[in-house]
Amino acid sequence: MKEHTSVAEMSELGRLILLGAPLGNPADASARFREVLATADVVAAEDTRRLARLARDLDVSVPGRIVSYFEGNEERRTPELAEVLTAGYTVALVTDGGMPSVSDPGYRLVRAALDVGVPVTAAPGPSAVTTALALSGLPSDRFCFEGFLPRSPGGRRSRLRALAAEERTLVFFEAPHRIAGALADLSAIFGADRPAALCRELTKTYEEIVRRPLGELAEWAADGDPRGEITVVVGGAPHTAPERPDDDTLRAAVAAREAAGMSRRDAISEVATDHGLRRRDVYTVVHS
């Protein structure tokens, strides 16, 4: 496997460019997005009809060959596009919105290009993940993107139980016909009071951000009929300090480390770190 390409080799190989497509508002397309569409030899699009509409909205002509590249044909078409790249052509990859390979087609082609030494770059653009996160009003310094939850109710609940203690803000994608069930399970497993935001149709005419605790959000979705592309942002689990061991347990822990050859000073420091305590508190207990 080769992931470094020399300048000389780049002149003989093509290039794969990932295009960050507008989520809904064509005006969000960057100048570089337009330039790549107008110059790429091949444009691989998740939906060729949507690409055609977007190009018209942007008043951009796409002279390159347009091919479909979506979940149903991704495995078959990837080797074909890899051959195009190794023949020296530029391939642009665009999805229906956001960055390719982020819960959208693209990973296989990126991996295939890297495996044959073809350089991969991007024209960065909109992302539903970071847009929803920023608009949610929830902590964004640390977050975890989980993509789409499993389709089956049992699989979905199993995944959520595994995430219930995650302290980072969580971001999910969900389909409209599954959102009510997903929110009901989120509320039941994470707790009805956990803060959350449902972001619908981002950047589009009917953009809607609903910020409520999970219990209220689940009721809102059950009573209504949310449509369009949905991103759900959920606050992380509250941090709970570990239970403080009793004094005898702390003394025994320090004594065990001393017996193993550790100095008392180091033993106290390690026990304090293990239990989330201040060193001086453990010192006081040991010397009392």
Q: What is the dihedral of CA 107, 176, 228, 208, to 10 degrees?
A: -110
Determine the number of helices (DSSP H) and then strands (DSSP E) in the chain.
12, 10
Please indicate, yes or no, if residue 117 is contained in any of the structural domains: yes
The pLDDT of residue 47: 96
- pTM recorded for the entire structure: 0.78
| C-beta separation of 17 from 90 below 8 A | yes
pLDDT at 69 exceeding the cut of 70: yes
What is the C-alpha to C-alpha distance for residues 194 and 199, in angstroms, rounded to an integer? 16
What is the C-alpha to C-alpha distance for residues 216 and 231, in angstroms, rounded to an integer? 17
Instruction: Tell me, yes or no, whether 198 and 151 share the same domain.
Output: yes
The H or E element spanning position 155 is: helix 153-163
Other C-beta atoms lying within 10 Å of the C-beta of residue 44: 31
* Last residue within a domain, chosen from 75, 96, 126: 126
Q: Nearest Cα to 67, choosing from 59, 30, 76?
A: 76
pLDDT at 51 exceeding the cut of 80: yes
One-letter amino acid at 148 equals: F
CATH (domain of 214): 3.30.950.10
Please indicate, yes or no, if residue 282 is contained in any of the structural domains: yes
pLDDT at 277 exceeding the cut of 70: yes
Please indicate, yes or no, if residue 2 is contained in any of the structural domains: no
pLDDT at 103 exceeding the cut of 90: no
Instruction: Tell me, yes or no, whether 42 and 152 share the same domain.
Output: no
Please give the structure tokens belonging to residue 95. 């999805």
Q: What is the dihedral of CA 92, 93, 98, 104, to 10 degrees?
A: -170
pLDDT at 7 exceeding the cut of 60: no
Instruction: Tell me, yes or no, whether 96 and 160 share the same domain.
Output: no
- How does pLDDT run across 156-204, given as a tens digit for each residue? 999 999 999 999 999 999 999 999 999 999 999 999 999 999 999 999 9
- Please tell me the total count of domains within the chain: 3
Instruction: Tell me, yes or no, whether 118 and 139 share the same domain.
Output: no
Angle at 138 (CA atoms; ends 215, 144), nearest 5 degrees: 95
Contacts for 286 with CB less than 8 Å, ≥ 6 apart: 250, 251, 254, 264, 268
Please indicate, yes or no, if residue 210 is contained in any of the structural domains: yes
What is the C-alpha to C-alpha distance for residues 125 and 33, in angstroms, rounded to an integer? 8
pLDDT at 210 exceeding the cut of 90: yes
Instruction: Tell me, yes or no, whether 89 and 136 share the same domain.
Output: no
Domain that holds residue 225: 129-234
Q: Give the β-pairing of 143-148 and 208-213.
A: unpaired
The H or E element spanning position 174 is: strand 169-174
Q: Nearest Cα to 169, choosing from 235, 76, 91, 85?
A: 235
Please indicate, yes or no, if residue 110 is contained in any of the structural domains: yes
Please give the structure tokens belonging to residue 139. 């902590």
Give the model's confidence band at 5: pLDDT under 50 very low, under 70 low, under 90 confident, else very high: very low
* Last residue within a domain, chosen from 102, 126, 150: 126
The pLDDT of residue 243: 77
Please indicate, yes or no, if residue 53 is contained in any of the structural domains: yes
Other C-beta atoms lying within 10 Å of the C-beta of residue 175: 12
Other C-beta atoms lying within 10 Å of the C-beta of residue 97: 23
Instruction: Tell me, yes or no, whether 161 and 176 share the same domain.
Output: yes
What Cα–Cα distance (Å) separates residue 257 from each residue in 162, 253, 265, 270, 282?
34, 7, 10, 9, 14
Instruction: Tell me, yes or no, whether 113 and 184 share the same domain.
Output: no
CATH (domain of 95): 3.40.1010.10
Please give the structure tokens belonging to residue 60. 């951009």
Instruction: Tell me, yes or no, whether 37 and 74 share the same domain.
Output: yes
The mean predicted confidence, pLDDT, of the chain is: 92
Instruction: Tell me, yes or no, whether 199 and 260 share the same domain.
Output: no
pLDDT at 9 exceeding the cut of 80: no
